[in-house]
Amino acid sequence: MSEELILQIQKKAGLTEVVSKYILLNNSRKVLKGRCPFHKDDTTSLMIMPESNIFKCFGCGAEGGPVDFVARIESVSREEVAGRMAKELGFTLNKFAQ
């Protein structure tokens, strides 16, 4: 799978929805917060910004989009995650093959 395709999937996947499957998020207007799953977080250091579809942790510095989040939390490759999301999002992979 090409990096270009991963980026397209990354743009299309809804970060809030993806992250909500793994951690509890508190809604606070435009930014959602949750306990960061990537370090020992006693507060809610993880920010989810739905408008830009990115997450950022102010505790450990973890950041990225939906694909990055899942790849990191499940310790799998970005390609594997993007492949799964592509199916869920109805991407036609053949179109981008080669």
Residues near Zn ion (CB under 5 A): 36, 38-39, 57, 59-60, 62
- Residue with Cβ nearer Zn ion (9 or 62): 62
Pick the closest to residue 66 from 29, 25, 11, 23 (CA basis): 11
Beta-carbon contacts of residue 75 (< 8 Å; ≥ 6 apart) = none
Q: Could you count the other beta carbons within 10 Å of the beta carbon of residue 53? A: 18
- Residue with Cβ nearer Zn ion (59 or 64): 59
Least distance (Å) between residue 56 CB and Zn ion: 9
Asked if residues 36 and 46 have their Cβ atoms less than 8 Å apart, the reply is yes
Least distance (Å) between residue 37 CB and Zn ion: 8
- Residue with Cβ nearer Zn ion (10 or 55): 55
Least distance (Å) between residue 69 CB and Zn ion: 11
